[in-house]
């Protein structure tokens, strides 16, 4: 059964347009409250966090109304990173958690992500059942059993302490100058606080949210500002987070950017050498570079690939008992410390290795030589299905034949935006560009 509202990471879209309307959020809250209340008769709790988008107020109130109408007790965390909701849901003995965020998207988008009582994202089956309840409607509680809502003032500080606990005990960051770009998002207070408390000289960027500037020329999707700041201040590195702080992009002391693949390669190699890489494997998606796979294989480490989306990475990790996974985009999942991607904790792992080894960021972030990779996006309109057009399918088939034995081609619909992503890898740069451009042209023609 296909999902109507849920994508790869919750329900997402432009604020005040279906499905991201206040009316829909109320229905989602009531459906989710009804779904989770069925499992026991005790008092039921849900924790809600959000990032810094102006529309977060609207969705927070609408969700609260829907949830309390079914008897849920709502605990409002305010602006906190997505991983904080994953951590605090089981800590506060809640039935489930909700994060209101559209992650790396612009301010005009928003989303609703769910976490189960164990702090992990919901299964496809649970989301499909919630969708059914949204469409069918649910019975509301009597007036004497309506739930309540209350603010939790120390949610951010609880997360700060948990993040610090992932850093080696007794180790400090004294003498290190660290730029942290919080994308004017959910970690604008927590990330600088953690780094300062660990002893770093912190240079904050993107810490003045106004409701509309989240991810605006800053953060993990726009690391240029952080790179310029690193060079200007002579900093040791920059940690660039996205709007909800579940992903990271690193910038070394020279202003060079390193993606999630480089960080995962470093961590997997280090953890394997220490004997703490569970299953001697890293879980990553089909988007991760072929160079990463070759590097890991040279060390006897397996690369387990999944569909795109950190939820699928986590599912495979839990199935196989693995403790390290992530995405090239910077979602790094370390189940020893967190239940979902955590950009800050991943950055702390990198900083710890800098302290241990005495090496510069540029030395550690250049883990392997990537195979040339090219990714281009084509936007399409609602109702269009360009990948079903025969001419597009023929173009893809021809491109795959051209790359056979020389590289690989990946075509997919984004799970968070109306985009067709065309990605290829090939040692031959000219062939790489020609292959991608040919497919992109065919998709563009189909969307006119």
d(CA 206, CA 88): 25
DSSP, res 441: H
d(CA 431, CA 427): 8
Place of tokens 């660290």: 178
d(CA 18, CA 274): 49
Q: Is 103 considered catalytic here? A: yes
d(CA 340, CA 157): 19
d(CA 198, CA 297): 35
- List all residues 6 or more positions away from 154 whose beta carbon is below 8 Å from its beta carbon: none
Nearest partner of 304 among 271, 341, 264, judged by Cα: 264
Nearest partner of 177 among 245, 253, 240, 248, judged by Cα: 253
Catalytic residue among 55, 69, 101, 103: 103
CA-derived radius of gyration, the chain: 22
Place of tokens 């948990």: 162
Place of tokens 């004017």: 184
CB atoms within 10 A of CB 362: 16
At 309 the three-state DSSP class reads coil
Q: Are 179 and 205 in contact (CB under 8 A)?
A: yes
H-type alpha helices, 70-154: 82-91, 124-136
Tokens standing for 135? 């469409």
Active-site residues: which are they?
103
């Amino acid at each position: 059964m296909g999902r109507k509202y849920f994508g790869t990471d919750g329900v997402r879209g432009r604020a005040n347009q279906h499905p991201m309307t206040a009316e829909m959020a109320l229905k989602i809250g009531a459906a989710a409250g009804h779904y989770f209340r069925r499992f026991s008769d005790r008092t039921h709790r849900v924790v809600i966090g959000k990032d810094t988008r102006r529309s977060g107020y609207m969705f927070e109130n609408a969700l609260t109304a829907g949830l309390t109408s079914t008897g849920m007790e709502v605990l409002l965390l305010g602006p906190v990173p997505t991983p904080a909701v994953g951590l605090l849901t089981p800590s506060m003995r809640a039935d489930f958690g909700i994060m209101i965020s559209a992650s790396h998207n612009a301010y005009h988008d928003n989303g609703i992500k769910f976490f189960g009582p164990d702090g992990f994202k919901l299964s496809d089956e649970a989301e499909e059942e919630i969708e059914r309840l949204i469409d069918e409607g649910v019975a509301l509680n009597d007036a004497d059993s309506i739930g309540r809502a209350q603010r939790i003032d120390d949610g951010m500080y609880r997360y700060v302490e948990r993040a610090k606990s992932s850093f080696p005990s007794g180790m400090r960051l004294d003498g290190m100058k660290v730029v942290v770009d919080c994308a004017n998002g959910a970690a604008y207070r927590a990330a600088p606080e953690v780094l300062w408390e660990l002893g770093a000289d912190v240079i904050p960027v993107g810490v003045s949210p106004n409701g509309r500037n989240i991810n605006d020329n800053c953060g993990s999707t726009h690391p240029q500002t952080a790179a310029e700041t690193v060079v200007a201040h002579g900093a040791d590195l920059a940690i660039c987070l996205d709007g909800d702080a579940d992903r990271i992009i690193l910038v070394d002391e020279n202003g060079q950017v390193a993606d999630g693949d480089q960080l995962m390669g470093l961590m997997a190699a280090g953890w394997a050498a220490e004997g703490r890489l569970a299953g001697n494997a890293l879980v990553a998606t089909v988007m991760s570079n072929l160079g990463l796979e070759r590097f890991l294989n040279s060390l006897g480490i397996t690369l387990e690939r999944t569909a795109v989306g950190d939820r699928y990475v986590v599912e495979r990790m839990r199935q196989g008992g693995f403790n390290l996974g992530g995405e090239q985009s910077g979602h790094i999942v370390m189940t020893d410390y967190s239940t979902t991607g955590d950009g800050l904790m991943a950055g702390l792992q990198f900083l710890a290795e800098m302290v241990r080894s005495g090496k510069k960021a540029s030395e550690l972030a250049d883990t392997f030589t990537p195979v040339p990779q090219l990714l281009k996006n084509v936007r399409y309109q609602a109702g269009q299905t360009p990948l079903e057009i025969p001419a597009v399918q023929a173009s893809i088939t021809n491109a795959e034949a051209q790359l056979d034995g020389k590289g690989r081609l990946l075509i997919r619909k984004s799970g968070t935006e109306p985009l067709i992503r065309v990605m290829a890898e090939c040692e031959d740069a000219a062939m790489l560009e020609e292959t991608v451009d040919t497919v992109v042209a065919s998709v563009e023609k189909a969307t006119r």
